[in-house]
A and B are shown apart, each in its own frame.
Chain A
Amino acid sequence: MAGMSRYVAVRSIQTFITLLVILTLIFIMFEALPAQPQDLLQTTPGMQPSQIEYMTRLYGYDQPVSKRYLNYMFNMLTFEFGISFSQAEPVWDILSDRIPRTILLFGGATILAYIVGIYLGALIAWRRGGILDGGSVVISLVFYNMPSFWIGLIFLVIFASELNWFPLTGWYDPTDNLPYVVDVLWHVSLPMIVLLLLSLAGTVLLMRTAMLDVIGENYMVTAKAIGLPERKVLFKHGARNAMLPVVTSFIIAFVFSIGGAVVLENVFSFPGMGALYIDALYELDFPVAMATLYIITLLVLLGNFAADLIYGYLDPRVRI
């Protein structure tokens, strides 16, 4: 297990360095934007010069870039996000409610997509050439290339508007007379299903390809020759190995899925970070946008770190 702990340590350091690099990139990006917060202050109607001066100091725009950068890095790492431009509230207060919602939507959908996708991908590769295989591949390809918001809208029309199975929008509605948790799950399920289907498509295709590679491997013949039942050959020996490249591509799926979550939150008026982010962008509320972007990136990195750990657990060859 020594190998494993070294592996974890190395991965943690790598993830942290990546985080620092990405934070720096975010800082540079915001510095490079054509609309600067300082300018924004100047053009806000009704701002007195003294107010502008105060705000400039408050947000630290009077300091040199290097100082600002250091402050920024420190603030981000300590989750000090400052005060929103548009709502005059600490960014953390605006954001904190929304983080768990997005984690529920995005995390839930991604994890489910992985579980279902790995299972389904393995299964259709196992029964390749059949109607199940062809059908699943075609459906997956179509879903993979569909714009997320569009399929979201279609689901909204069919399952919320026409069939009335799910609520149209929101997160929690006290008038539903349901226990909080149940009502939240009911609200979150439709966007989650859409996100699940979208993420599923990629995972199924990837898993199918990986599984097709694995099926030809000698150890699969061994497993069969030993007399293992089909289920065990398929899942214990086949899927377990085919999962490896799928888990390696976790980061791509995470990035894809968080993008989908941001879009779908806006389709479903789901009050998560994605909806907040878009609102902040409309209003050029930089502190909120920056903090949201940071949290989203952090989520992706943590997810990827988790994926690395899973990979380390799954594949003994990397723990050296």
Chain B
Amino acid sequence: MVLLEVEDLKVHFEIQDGWVKAVDGVSFSIDSGETMGLVGESGCGKTTAAYAITQLLPPNGRIKGGRIFFREPDRVAAFRKEYDWKLKDSAKGRRNEISRIKSKLDELNRSGRKSAPEADEMRDRLAALTYSFDLLALSTRKDGSLDDYNEDIRKIRWTQISMIFQGAMNAFNPVFRVGDQIIEAITLHEDVDENVARERAKELFEFVGIAPDRIDNYPHEFSGGMKQRAMIALALALNPSFVIADEPTTALDVITQDRILAEIKRLQEQLKMAMMIITHDVSVVAEVSDKIGVMYAGLIMEIGQTSQVFKNTAHPYTAGLLGSFPSVKGERRRLVSIPGFPPDLVSPPSGCPFHPRCQYAQSKCQEERPEGVAVEPGHISYCHFAEELWEKLRRTA
């Protein structure tokens, strides 16, 4: 079942010199229980894309387009896709369809068949037509800015989607006890006694491998690794169905990194929650994700199952990215870095943004933004020459 579907997301930031097109049309989906890794260099828009889901953008961020469907029932999604294909962008057609379905529903209501499967279908169709599972529709204002503290979004935050933050060092408020911050999250969303919440916090601590009596400590009394574990405990506090981990290991030493990754793996196995791991570290992704999205300059370059992307690389950028990291498997090869620098996102290159650095670039790359090419089932590369290059780039395992 698809848990999260991001469709053509565009997030831009307003700065003095213009607009930073941090995310400029990104689509992906994550199934329940699936872990997706979003990789790319710093500044490629991966964090922005993830933060747009829980709507934690800085005040100058604007949603310039796209939809984020969360926990949309499969049938609704199917209807939605059907309508999108059928109605294209015709607003009038959509309005007509909505009124038609509404009248049908009314008819069913009047005839006392409210709970008939037919009525359910109509309701699902209506939901699909009105995009009622789109998180962005809940809180985007006319100018594209987000109503940060929208009630509906607030209810989804942490109960449904929680996060493990990049800088766990500072993710806890230094003036409150760590335990209190977990208790705060629990009591905020659940109508439970503080003692109950406290017990839960202790359990969570135990679960992530911290002594339960440490919940009365302040953040500054924790080590870096402990803070990251506490962060995980906090993220799990309300048993969310989806966890976004933003660079969960970046600030940690190698040994702690390893432990935290192991911890995350264990969670996936035990709790069966969906995860999205944002990182620049390909090795992290390789270890824990089922699926990988490679981002560059605000766009997805390649997306697919981890093994597909790693083995049957179908995009020159992915190839470059993989080439610049040492292999996890310990195989020896020369590290090759990609020549040139990531583009300025205020005025990104025309066509494929990677073309100035791409050794396979041709004139077409400058002119047209590439469409996704499905090289394998579920493996899409956004390259004009994906088919041709696929064989060339495929790694010899």
B185 touches A226 (CB 8 A): yes
Secondary structure at the B interface, as helix, strand, loop or mixed, is mixed
B220 touches A317 (CB 8 A): yes
A241 touches B174 (CB 8 A): yes
Say yes or no: is B81 at the interface (Cβ < 8 Å to chain A). Answer: no
B163 touches A241 (CB 8 A): no
B172 touches A221 (CB 8 A): no
Residues of A195-244 contacting chain B, CB below 8 A: 217-219, 221-230, 233, 237, 240-241, 244
Chain B residues lying within 8 Å of A244, measured Cβ to Cβ, are 175
Total number of residue pairs linking A and B with CB closer than 8 Å: 75
Say yes or no: is A315 at the interface (Cβ < 8 Å to chain B). Answer: yes
Chain A residues lying within 8 Å of B175, measured Cβ to Cβ, are 240-241, 244, 314-316
Say yes or no: is B242 at the interface (Cβ < 8 Å to chain A). Answer: no
Interface size on A, residues (CB 8 A): 23
Chain B residues lying within 8 Å of A233, measured Cβ to Cβ, are 149
Closest Cβ–Cβ distance, residue B171 to chain A (whole Å): 5
A217-B170 contact, Cβ under 8 Å, with A225-B162, A228-B188:
yes
Chain A residues lying within 8 Å of B158, measured Cβ to Cβ, are 225-227
B171 touches A316 (CB 8 A): no
Say yes or no: is B173 at the interface (Cβ < 8 Å to chain A). Answer: yes
B148 touches A224 (CB 8 A): yes
Chain B residues lying within 8 Å of A223, measured Cβ to Cβ, are 173
A219 touches B56 (CB 8 A): no
A221 touches B56 (CB 8 A): yes
Residue in chain A with minimal CB distance to B231: A222
Residues of A171-194 contacting chain B, CB below 8 A: none
Residues of B163-192 contacting chain A, CB below 8 A: 163, 165-167, 169-175, 181, 184-185, 188-189
Say yes or no: is B200 at the interface (Cβ < 8 Å to chain A). Answer: no
Chain B residues lying within 8 Å of A241, measured Cβ to Cβ, are 173-175
Chain A residues lying within 8 Å of B171, measured Cβ to Cβ, are 218-219, 221-222
Cα distance, A314 to B176, chains bound together (Å): 9
Residue in chain A with minimal CB distance to B60: A129
B170 touches A225 (CB 8 A): no
Q: Which has the most chain A C-beta neighbours within 10 Å: B149, B163, B189?
A: B149
Chain B residues lying within 8 Å of A229, measured Cβ to Cβ, are 149, 154
Residues of B46-102 contacting chain A, CB below 8 A: 54, 56, 59
Chain B residues lying within 8 Å of A218, measured Cβ to Cβ, are 165-167, 169-171
Chain A residues lying within 8 Å of B189, measured Cβ to Cβ, are 227
Secondary structure at the A interface, as helix, strand, loop or mixed, is helix
B56 touches A224 (CB 8 A): yes
From A222, A227, A237, A314, contact of B188 by CB (8 A)? A227
Say yes or no: is B228 at the interface (Cβ < 8 Å to chain A). Answer: no
Closest Cβ–Cβ distance, residue A207 to chain B (whole Å): 16
A225 touches B56 (CB 8 A): yes
Say yes or no: is B369 at the interface (Cβ < 8 Å to chain A). Answer: no
Residue in chain A with minimal CB distance to B244: A225
Closest Cβ–Cβ distance, residue A265 to chain B (whole Å): 38
A317-B174 contact, Cβ under 8 Å, with A221-B56, A225-B56:
yes
Closest Cβ–Cβ distance, residue A6 to chain B (whole Å): 16
**When each residue 96-112 of chain A gets 1 if its CB lies under 8 Å from chain B and 0 otherwise, what string results?**
00000000000000000
Say yes or no: is B155 at the interface (Cβ < 8 Å to chain A). Answer: yes
Say yes or no: is B385 at the interface (Cβ < 8 Å to chain A). Answer: no
Residues of A104-131 contacting chain B, CB below 8 A: 129
Chain B residues lying within 8 Å of A315, measured Cβ to Cβ, are 174-175
Say yes or no: is B390 at the interface (Cβ < 8 Å to chain A). Answer: no
Chain A residues lying within 8 Å of B220, measured Cβ to Cβ, are 316-317
Cα distance, A222 to B159, chains bound together (Å): 14
B154 touches A227 (CB 8 A): yes
A225 touches B54 (CB 8 A): yes
A226 touches B173 (CB 8 A): no
Chain A residues lying within 8 Å of B166, measured Cβ to Cβ, are 218
Closest Cβ–Cβ distance, residue B165 to chain A (whole Å): 6
Q: Which has the most chain B C-beta neighbours within 10 Å: A217, A226, A315?
A: A226
B173 touches A219 (CB 8 A): yes
Chain A residues lying within 8 Å of B148, measured Cβ to Cβ, are 224, 230
Closest Cβ–Cβ distance, residue B13 to chain A (whole Å): 14
Chain B residues lying within 8 Å of A227, measured Cβ to Cβ, are 154-159, 185, 188-189
Chain B residues lying within 8 Å of A237, measured Cβ to Cβ, are 173
Residues of B340-380 contacting chain A, CB below 8 A: none
**When each residue 232-273 of chain A gets 1 if its CB lies under 8 Å from chain B and 0 otherwise, what string results?**
010001001100100000000000000000000000000000
Cα distance, A51 to B136, chains bound together (Å): 90
B173 touches A316 (CB 8 A): no
Closest Cβ–Cβ distance, residue A149 to chain B (whole Å): 39
Seen from chain A, the residues whose Cβ lies within 8 Å of a Cβ on chain B are: 129, 217-219, 221-230, 233, 237, 240-241, 244, 314-317
**What 9 A-B pairs have minimum CB-CB distances, sorted nearest first?**
A227-B157, A230-B149, A218-B170, A219-B173, A227-B154, A316-B218, A226-B185, A218-B167, A227-B158
In the complex, 25 of the A-B residue pairs with CB atoms within 8 angstroms, ordered by the A residue number, are A218-B165, A218-B166, A218-B170, A219-B171, A219-B172, A221-B165, A222-B163, A222-B181, A224-B56, A224-B157, A225-B56, A225-B165, A226-B157, A226-B158, A227-B155, A227-B156, A227-B158, A227-B159, A227-B188, A240-B175, A241-B175, A314-B175, A316-B220, A317-B174, A317-B218
